[in-house]
Structure 1
């Protein structure tokens, strides 16, 4: 069912590029006596160097020539920042008034506020203060009002900050001490925060707060913490009197116990529900957690418990565990029942309809199944492409570029934040450039965001173009969303290591969106998001000399090492792209532990059962990204199903074809 696609001729037409060039040039037009843009850029570079070297006179001379340059405020800021502790307040206020919307203005204000608070200059602190997200600064603000006896609404504002499920900075302690002595501090208010703390899995904070409860209430706070720490004991004893606090604590205990021992949680819940007058909401919460954890642990009661969830309460989590349970047991009738009707708004409707169609297929209702596949066949995603595979029709990419409206494009081209972001990007000041770009989002309409994405792509800033189109919910310009960049580099290593080029492109697109200096919260680096330890091991294996972590932030070195690791995963999993993709994300040991032990399994079923949500979404995303990249590379489009091989037994991993055949049955992955 493959099809060949070519890039539409209208994209190859240079008219749009020409228009962009004209608009960007207009954005920097200056009077004839002004320096050209390239000269301003050079002066800016020299000014930064002079300041870094401490050559203040040279810096002032150079920066004086740049007052009409988009990045002039950054020069002023950098000089101010270096003497913030002694800068004149009027000078700082003038900067903040002149550039109120710049990210660096927020930095300057926050740093000045911290300096003033540490020096206990409370009046000046209040003069400089604006609403802040930083909890420490919020506490300093309350302190300033307390010290200056600004009592109006002070206790109300302290209450709003105090009422949180996490511990707050020590800078809050002085105002909280005052709050604890006020009439605002009641058992009811303490219970509100205890609930927030327990909901945030913070029993230490809940225990601390419980000690402030009155004598009659304190025991319930202590019981809640005890039940959290030992749910089997306290939900089994049923020793509490039937009060609202007791019921709340016991439901919490049952949900905790379900994670540890489903059978015991079920037995304890059956006993408790006959002794306590739980509300319908209490029962619903307990049954939801029991159903989820019974499914996660493949408990024999999973199907029955999942059946108790009302349709109005079904969300993506419940849908997922219903899928896992039904597919593990090949219970197509339950799956059909669970996906009947219109999907609730809180679920991924494409997933719902796809598996409704599959359940109909498996129960012999093939023509009815086609109706549901047709409902999603126009979706350009994993389930939409799989639906087309079942319908045996070719993929339609439905690429549509943004229509040109010169006046609107000119307006965006001259938007100050766009110009500043462009100049920062040109100078390699990527963090600052991204902050400018991010702050611009709320100021632009969705159409204007799409125009900005076109500009970003024209500059080569593809990760911002992709991000911006996502923010605008504009998914049809596939040339912008799936750029063919680093082609020589990626093609070289795809050929050298005999890797599927479109698959490799899909992986880079999913990992980093082509951000060369991408850094994940877990520490993965660069285009192919390699962990430093993995990078070093792979570099050593391929004879890469003198590896350093920073190499992963260079495109050529990252792809050299990343493609070698991808090849390693491909070989370890016998060319199975589904398994290799999962292993690249979750690690090979995890994937090995998820392989079936008794019979082979269809790849689409295995993917739905992947225990890690991130990996599950990652694998499905890369599979359909690869088909889109086939189209972008102007090569034969490989259907998603043709990149998905049967999932073999672990013991027969390297002889999958000999042992899988067409025999399929249920399999349960280790959760």
Structure 2
């Protein structure tokens, strides 16, 4: 995405689709037609008329608005009573109604409506209200929530407040500290009051007595502005005599995260090393590792990952990096075991990096036979899929991006519980209709039956290849970027105006047009968009000397990408892992892995992700 920190990404729903793929070559399963066809299963939901679907759409947003603005239960009842079957619009309306009911404590109605939701469609706040209503008994939910340091929905805060007296009090205080450090002052005050120790009215000094007074003083070094101070370690030490070990340890961890995200990795490591590890949240643990990784301090990388909670240790990211650390430390056998685990984690950046570390290579050999015409016909007659397609066709006919967004929501709803054969049949239907982003979404959800021709579709190949080669960039890289940007969605538009397959901002497009002497034919023109986008991508690459840094620059701006370099040449994978913006870090990994897959599909020579990501030059 060209500078999506300056702008919001392509229709929010499309961004959620992003998932790049990696397939270990050896375990590809062979699936015969006889094994494939009998497992295609779709629902018996009735196919509704287009007039019924569009009538529902016309009432959908006004119903949500009425629920949010005035809590109009009757609006929800009327809308839901008009539905002939469950669908994405009804699910969202019911979720919003449930939030209203939960906030008012109307538990009998809440429980009756909650029972009608598909388990895969319940949002987090309603999961919390279901605990309060007695509809659910999931003690692990509260145990997980209390470990969160950031903002939670109102219903989840209510659940924690009502449960607080029975929870581990150290964890309760840790959440209060986290809320204060994240400027969630009201939620922090409410939680402290729930355990009978209200915070002082004025925070930042040693007001009052007991734990609450100490937490007030702690805030003087954990608030957002204080944490940015390069002298924050000394400031924490100066007041530590008035704090408990746990309080001071929390402050060091919070400050460590702030400095790591500001690329002050040396300061961050010093702070993290003094932190109370029991209070580090998941993001802080990850920035702790990244800080050591930035200096290739492999012993520290290994030790930090080994101390992480098991949930984090088992992520392919940290399996890979711990394997790298063990390898650097001469412990090859243990490293190989972790590379093996990471390589089998699915189709993602680190699975492919681990596979290559084991001597393997990307595979794009599909093992699923393309869906037959009969299977595609069955998919198209599934009522939930048909509803999504009706909305999609209406969005195209009227050039209406809001309807397209609802069509995407309905598609995700329709394929949520499909088995893999059915997913591939649905993907084929979407591809045939031109609903490219959702064809990829469905194909991406399979783990065993793989159709790389849909998962990594390559429309407009002649145009893209021609312009990519004219400006001297790898067509596979251009495709990897387009897949991440727009999922080949013609007319894609961000909320701030970036347009087309390669998501160019109008100002950037005009600048490129001026430089290459091209007349504008509009950014929705496929050929013009690709011509400008590939030129701009090549220009960013030429000025940076690195595909990896250029990819980061396309998303967050070339200036930021340059700032994230080290003072010495840096392994591209380490550069990518230590990018401070979550969106850009994820974006770079996905684009580069996508490019590796496209290279394999196109028979291009650069089929190694490790080599492609390369080295980022020093500042």
TM-score (norm 1): 0.62
The within-5 A match list for 1:106-185 is 132=96
Corresponding position of 1:506: 480
Say if 2:229 is the partner of 1:244. Answer: no
Corresponding position of 1:291: 256
Check 1:201–1:340 CA distance in 2 against 1; reply closer, same or farther (3 A cut): closer
Question: Are the counterparts in 2 of residues 389 and 639 from structure 1 also a CA contact under 8 Å?
Answer: yes
Q: Distance in 1 between matches of 2:90 and 2:571?
A: 55
1:503: how far off?
0.9
Q: Distance in 2 between matches of 1:398 and 1:284?
A: 51
Check 1:244–1:342 CA distance in 2 against 1; reply closer, same or farther (3 A cut): closer
Say if 2:401 is the partner of 1:456. Answer: no
Deviation larger for 299-308 or 491-500: 299-308
Q: Distance in 1 between matches of 2:318 and 2:371?
A: 37
Corresponding position of 1:188: none
Check 1:248–1:315 CA distance in 2 against 1; reply closer, same or farther (3 A cut): closer
Check 1:314–1:634 CA distance in 2 against 1; reply closer, same or farther (3 A cut): farther
Q: Distance in 2 between matches of 1:131 and 1:390?
A: 45
Say if 2:455 is the partner of 1:481. Answer: yes
Question: Are the counterparts in 2 of residues 254 and 265 from structure 1 also a CA contact under 8 Å?
Answer: yes
Question: Are the counterparts in 2 of residues 469 and 475 from structure 1 also a CA contact under 8 Å?
Answer: no
Alignment deviations for residues 144-202 of structure 1 (CA, whole Å, 9 cap, x no partner): xxxxxxxxxxxxx9xx9xxx97999xxxxxxxxxxxxxxx9xxxxxx99x999857636
Say if 2:550 is the partner of 1:580. Answer: yes
1:590: how far off?
1.4
Deviation larger for 289-298 or 461-470: 289-298
Question: Are the counterparts in 2 of residues 287 and 305 from structure 1 also a CA contact under 8 Å?
Answer: yes
Corresponding position of 1:589: 559
| Aligned residues: CA RMSD | 5.1
The within-5 A match list for 1:488-567 is 488-521=462-495, 523-546=497-520, 551-567=522-538
1:465: how far off?
1.9
Check 1:466–1:199 CA distance in 2 against 1; reply closer, same or farther (3 A cut): farther
Corresponding position of 1:383: 350
Corresponding position of 1:97: 82
Check 1:78–1:391 CA distance in 2 against 1; reply closer, same or farther (3 A cut): closer
* 2:340 pairs with one of 338, 356, 374: 374
Greater length-normalized contact order (CA 8 Å, ≥ 6 residues apart): 2
Question: Are the counterparts in 1 of residues 600 and 607 from structure 2 also a CA contact under 8 Å?
Answer: no
| Structure having the higher Rg | 1
Check 1:341–1:375 CA distance in 2 against 1; reply closer, same or farther (3 A cut): farther
Question: Are the counterparts in 1 of residues 313 and 319 from structure 2 also a CA contact under 8 Å?
Answer: no
SS in 2 for 1:434: helix
Alignment deviations for residues 239-269 of structure 1 (CA, whole Å, 9 cap, x no partner): 3233333233333333216754455433343
* 2:381 pairs with one of 409, 414, 418: 414
Question: Are the counterparts in 2 of residues 206 and 221 from structure 1 also a CA contact under 8 Å?
Answer: no
Corresponding position of 2:579: 610
Alignment deviations for residues 361-402 of structure 1 (CA, whole Å, 9 cap, x no partner): 333445554443333344543223333443444334464327
Check 1:261–1:332 CA distance in 2 against 1; reply closer, same or farther (3 A cut): same
The within-5 A match list for 1:312-323 is 317-323=283-289
Deviation larger for 464-473 or 500-509: 464-473
Check 1:135–1:292 CA distance in 2 against 1; reply closer, same or farther (3 A cut): same
Check 1:476–1:273 CA distance in 2 against 1; reply closer, same or farther (3 A cut): farther
1:483: how far off?
1.0
SS in 1 for 2:616: coil
Question: Are the counterparts in 2 of residues 402 and 450 from structure 1 also a CA contact under 8 Å?
Answer: no
1:589: how far off?
1.2
Corresponding position of 2:303: 337
Q: Distance in 2 between matches of 1:387 and 1:577?
A: 20
1:607: how far off?
2.5
1:333: how far off?
1.9
Deviation larger for 332-341 or 525-534: 332-341
- Structure 2 alignment gaps of length 5 or more: 1-24, 64-73, 107-128, 133-149, 155-161, 163-171, 398-403
1:285: how far off?
3.5
1:308: how far off?
5.2
Q: Distance in 1 between matches of 2:343 and 2:258?
A: 33
Q: Distance in 1 between matches of 2:534 and 2:501?
A: 11
Question: Are the counterparts in 2 of residues 525 and 553 from structure 1 also a CA contact under 8 Å?
Answer: yes
Question: Are the counterparts in 1 of residues 266 and 291 from structure 2 also a CA contact under 8 Å?
Answer: no
Q: Distance in 2 between matches of 1:524 and 1:536?
A: 12
The within-5 A match list for 1:343-358 is 344-347=310-313, 349-358=315-324
Q: Distance in 1 between matches of 2:589 and 2:59?
A: 49
SS in 2 for 1:339: helix
Q: Distance in 2 between matches of 1:217 and 1:385?
A: 51
Check 1:419–1:601 CA distance in 2 against 1; reply closer, same or farther (3 A cut): closer
1:452: how far off?
2.4
Question: Are the counterparts in 1 of residues 477 and 592 from structure 2 also a CA contact under 8 Å?
Answer: yes
Check 1:312–1:490 CA distance in 2 against 1; reply closer, same or farther (3 A cut): farther
1:422: how far off?
2.5
- Structure 1 alignment gaps of length 5 or more: 30-67, 111-129, 143-156, 169-183, 185-190, 228-233, 651-671
Alignment deviations for residues 22-50 of structure 1 (CA, whole Å, 9 cap, x no partner): 999xx999xxxxxxxxxxxxxxxxxxxxx
Question: Are the counterparts in 1 of residues 482 and 502 from structure 2 also a CA contact under 8 Å?
Answer: yes
1:102: how far off?
5.6
Q: Distance in 1 between matches of 2:587 and 2:278?
A: 28
TM-score (norm 2): 0.66
Q: Distance in 2 between matches of 1:528 and 1:535?
A: 11
Check 1:200–1:349 CA distance in 2 against 1; reply closer, same or farther (3 A cut): closer
* 2:51 pairs with one of 65, 69, 72: 72
